[in-house]
Amino acid sequence: MTSMKRGRYHARLAETADDLTKAQRLRHLCFHGDDGQDADRFDDICAHILVEEGKTGRLVCCFRFLPLTDGAEIDRCYSAQYYNLSSLRDFAGPMVELGRFCIHPDLKDPDILRVAWGAMTAYVDQHGVELLFGCSSFKGTEAGDYLDAFTVLRDRHLAPKRWLPRVKAPRVFRFGQLLRRKPDAKLAMLRMPPLLRTYLLMGGWVSDHAVVDVQMNTLHVFTGLEIKAIPPARKRLLRAVAG
């Protein structure tokens, strides 16, 4: 996938140092709430997607992805810093880690997320990707703000045992063990990050714990999506955007 236009928005690969800088500045704004550049060592080994407003060129969304040949390369990924992913070393097919996904905080247009997923769908189809994964982030580090969301994740969306990540980070919230409450399902979905909601609607699953990431000011859960598990109707919708 090199570029894609849908409606007001245009998704393309970052090609220059200036492109990457624009993405890093948007990431900093989204994760930290002010001006600056969010950059790390993984930027150099990832491809970066920019979603821009066609008329103005304004950057409205960005994310990066890291292709892996199969699970034998899982320790190369960003998520492996925070989760013990040894269970995924036996995954036999091509994988892609999707990370640093963010949408400009002033914008609420759902078409932005649709175009971003359309771009990723095109890449998945072209390269035969069998697993998408990454860290899905809740803003802030107070687990109490998201108890309904975490309870729904525990009850409905935990990873299959064969792929379940184990604890590695020093600070985690073990919602898979500690929560015993009836959630407000509507509030839970409102509190879910948009990216995570999309993963779940397509059949995605999560770790049984959230990592408390003080540096990024987030709580995040490991999230996986096996492409073969996406419902056919969802696949058709995604491919209609990507086609």
pLDDT digit string, tens, across residues 195-212: 899 899 899 999 999 999
- Can you give the residue range of the structural domain that contains 26? 3-242
| DSSP per-residue string spanning the chain | --EEEETTEEEEE--SHHHHHHHHHHHHHHHHSSSS----GGGGGSEEEEEEETTT--EEEEEEEEEESSGGGGGGSGGGGTEE-GGGGG--S-EEEEEEEEE-TT---HHHHHHHHHHHHHHHHHHT--EEEEEEEEESS-GGGGHHHHHHHHHH-BPPTTT--EE-SSSEE-HHHH--S---HHHHHHHS-HHHHHHHHTT-EE-SSEEEETTTTEEEEEEEEEGGGS-HHHHHHHHHHH-
Average pLDDT on 214-238 reads 89
Average pLDDT on 182-206 reads 91
Question: pLDDT tens digit string along 84-104?
Answer: 999 999 999 999 999 999 999
Residue 2: which pLDDT band, with cuts at 50, 70 and 90? low
If one counts the domains in the chain, the total is 1
pTM summary value: 0.92
What CATH number is given to the structural domain containing 75? Answer: 3.40.630.30
Predicted confidence at residue 178, as pLDDT, reads: 72
Average pLDDT on 50-76 reads 96
In the predicted structure, residue 29 carries a pLDDT above the cut 60:
yes
In the predicted structure, residue 242 carries a pLDDT above the cut 70:
no
Residue 79: which pLDDT band, with cuts at 50, 70 and 90? very high
In the predicted structure, residue 1 carries a pLDDT above the cut 60:
no
